[in-house]
Amino acid sequence: MAATQRYAEIRSRSPGYWGVLLLLAGLALVGFAAAHHMDVEGHHVTGMNNQVVWGLPHVFAIFLIVAASGALNLASLSSVFGRAAYKPLARFSAVLAVALLVGGLAILLLDLGRPDRLIVAMTHYNFKSIFAWNILLYSGFIGIVVVYLWLMMERRMQAFSKPAGVAALIWRLVLTTGTGSIFGFLVAREAYDTAILAPLFIVMSFAFGLALFALLLGFSFRFDGRELDQSHVERLRRLLGLFVAGIFYFVLVFHLTKLYGTQNHPFERFILTDGGTYTLLFWLVQIGLGNLLPLAICFMPAFAGSARALFAACLLVIAGAFAQLYIIIIGGQAFPLNIFPGYEVESSFFDGVIADYAPSIWELLLGLGGVAAALLLALLALRVLPILPEGLPAESD
Amino acid sequence: MANELDKIEVKPARRQFLRGAAALASVALAPGLLLYQARPAGANVDSGVRWGLLIDANALSEDDVDACVSACQREHGWRAEDGSATDAQWVRKVKLRDRASGHTRFLPVMCQHCEHPPCVDVCPTGASFKRADGIVLVNKHTCIGCRYCMMACPYKARSFIHEVLKDQLPVAPRGKGTVESCTLCVHRVDRDGADAVPACAEAVNRAGRQAIWFGDLNDPASGISQALREFGATRLRADMGLNPGVGYRGL
């Protein structure tokens, strides 16, 4: 099958297709304008403050960066693990990985207090900072994946696509380890300070990346009238189920380990029972809608081969992803630092209390703009390059 | 005691040179505008000293701690006007109540000037740095405003500037979009060496009553070292092994 596989640009002229592209472009522009407003006025127009220093933009940015790494899954499965069935999807897998990472990095950059100092970030490196390492890991990832994509697309160079695929696989595992470690290395905060955040972020990347991949694949195929056979849908459905089960497992281990230490009980109570919005998000959206429901959809025989069920599961996984990252990033900061163990603490600087955070419209627009820019970039690439297969018919094997 | 410090901390000749250089470096750019630079660029910070504070919680009343905060605000020009969550606070009054006994006390909490500062470890550009003499600062030219140092600081000592600022003081360069914290009154330290008294200490120390000691922790003969030997001190989050330059007596 692989030898005869043909790829083609998306040619859809349907108003719905162009409408989505225009909407994404509009959202990206609005996001940029929101970032400009934040830059001119200062971060007081956001909900972020000196207690919750990373807010909604970081939830969006880390979602995209983590998903970028996972979007490369199908290319890895094909090039590195020799799963021929995924080969037709490998090119799009690489394109989406780059597009998502660019969108995520754009949000991070535009949220800086001094985005005009990008050149400083590119020229001054503190190699003890995992953040500085991430700057190198992210730029390196884009470079490696672009070369990998070229090797896959250039017929004469296809023999080299396997070593490039291996390099990209290793690089992205390191990259997501780095992203998880941004939090894992924060030894002073009870919500973080654990090595399990690295593998948790890796398995999160698998699921989030695949969910976005499947949705965009379905969108492009539908508007271009390409055939997506049940066998392919079924394969993606089971793969997604496996990854969501992985997330559930690591989240379970994370909380069980924390619960074992008495000093962590206040933090665990905050997330699991007393945290108001955070608790609701955890049980209802992260666990219920984001894990258990997709698991049911992905493993119940009744949904076998159903594209609708797959896309519904993908949307649920993405909703759960945002809840999970919101709890990790913002909940982790809202819980107070324990500077004076054994004392009740009170101050003008919000010591000893759960910090308030209410995201403002500007942050939301910046985050949505970044997601829109990433999706637009991916969809435009599909329009100008032969990335997607002309169809995914039923397989003989 | 001050005389003893003179002998050990900074040689008089050197201090005189520094003072002269500082005077030279204070150049009037225009009427009313003074470019203030106490320690000339190029003059190295002495790596043999380590500046620190000892704060006597037993001696400080609530009013004293308020005085520390106000003095720091006047000295560096930061304000916590409306108590909003975006206000900068270089030093804050913390009220501690012992859960078991109900005993209450008040402490000023600021940057603890760690020997192994996590803010310096995590800063991607190296803007967060520790001087050779132990003072932890933010380079306002290379801070990109990522706030990772604020995530990493165990003491909540840093503030991000959320709005456009006007009328900053020459001794405390501050600007929207960057992070800042207690400088241990570095401008006074660079001007006066071991004789320096940070603004918070100046506000509460009176004749016959020392509540905040400042000095060289490396010098066994310095006042702060002697007080530390005599009274002992608690370091906040000592379990983290950061060896803060600030210690608290009576905690």
Is pLDDT of B1 > 50? no
Minimum-distance CB partner of A339 among B99, B154, B162: B154
Residue B234 maps to a domain:
yes
Task: Report chain A residues whose CB lies below 8 A from the CB of B145.
Answer: 112-114, 117
Biggest distance spanned by C-alpha atoms of chain A: 71
Residue B13: pLDDT band by 50, 70, 90 thresholds? very low
Task: Report chain B residues whose CB lies below 8 A from the CB of A125.
Answer: 124-126
pLDDT at B19: 47
pLDDT at A159: 84
**Average pLDDT of every residue of chain B:** 86
B73: CATH: 3.30.70.20
Residue B80 maps to a domain:
yes
Mean pLDDT of A121-135: 92
Question: Do residue B85 and residue A120 have CB atoms under 8 angstroms apart?
Answer: no
Residue A149 near residue A91 (C-beta atoms within 8 A): yes
User: How many other C-beta atoms are found inside a 10 Å radius of the C-beta of residue B130?
Assistant: 17
Percent of chain B with pLDDT over 90: 73
Residue B165 maps to a domain:
yes
Mean pLDDT of A89-111: 96
pLDDT at B207: 84
Is pLDDT of B12 > 50? no
The string of DSSP letters for A177-189 reads HHHHHHHHT-TT-
3-state SS assignment for residue B137? strand
Å from A21 to nearest chain B CA? 31
Question: Do residue B176 and residue A113 have CB atoms under 8 angstroms apart?
Answer: yes
pLDDT, tens digit, for every residue of B94-146? 999 998 899 999 999 999 999 999 999 999 999 999 999 999 999 999 999 99
Residue B232 near residue B249 (C-beta atoms within 8 A): yes
Q: Which residue has the higher pLDDT, B40 or B26?
A: B40
**Average pLDDT of every residue of chain A:** 94
Residue A47: pLDDT band by 50, 70, 90 thresholds? very high
**Could you tell me how many CB contacts below 8 A there are between chain A and chain B?**
168
Closest chain A residue to B108, measured at CA:
A347
pLDDT at B15: 47
Question: Do residue B145 and residue A113 have CB atoms under 8 angstroms apart?
Answer: yes
Q: Which residue has the higher pLDDT, B225 or B3?
A: B225
pLDDT at B39: 61
Contact B97/A at CB under 8 A = yes
Question: Do residue B89 and residue A186 have CB atoms under 8 angstroms apart?
Answer: no
Residue A295 near residue A320 (C-beta atoms within 8 A): no
Residue A207 near residue A317 (C-beta atoms within 8 A): yes
3-state SS assignment for residue A213? helix
Lowest mean pLDDT among A243-257, A304-318, B75-89: B75-89
Is pLDDT of B2 > 70? no
Phi/psi for B24 (5° steps) reads -65, -35
Q: Which domain holds residue B183?
A: 49-249
Residue B94 maps to a domain:
yes
What is the token pair recorded at B188? 């006074």
pLDDT at A395: 74
pLDDT at B180: 97
Q: Which residue has the higher pLDDT, B25 or A90?
A: A90
3-state SS assignment for residue B205? coil
pLDDT at A157: 87
Is pLDDT of B6 > 50? no
pLDDT at A28: 98
Å from B144 to nearest chain A CA? 5
Residue B170 maps to a domain:
yes
Is pLDDT of B17 > 50? no
Mean pLDDT of A251-269: 94
Å from A91 to nearest chain B CA? 33
Residue B81: pLDDT band by 50, 70, 90 thresholds? low
Task: Report chain A residues whose CB lies below 8 A from the CB of B80.
Answer: 348
Q: Which residue has the higher pLDDT, A390 or B25?
A: A390
What is the token pair recorded at A74? 């199908």
Residue B79: pLDDT band by 50, 70, 90 thresholds? confident
pLDDT, tens digit, for every residue of A177-197? 999 999 998 988 999 989 999
For residues A25 and A28, give the distance between their C-alpha atoms in angstroms, rounded to a whole number.
5
Could you give all domains of chain A from N- to C-terminal order, each with its CATH number? Answer: 11-389 (1.20.1630.10)
Residue B34 maps to a domain:
no
How far, CA to CA in Å, does A11 sit from each of A8, A73, A154, B141, B168?
8, 26, 22, 49, 58
Residue B38: pLDDT band by 50, 70, 90 thresholds? low
Percent of chain A with pLDDT over 70: 98
Residue B152 maps to a domain:
yes
pLDDT at A221: 93
The count of structural domains within chain B is 1
Question: Do residue B122 and residue A44 have CB atoms under 8 angstroms apart?
Answer: no
Is pLDDT of B249 > 60? yes
Residue B208 near residue B76 (C-beta atoms within 8 A): no
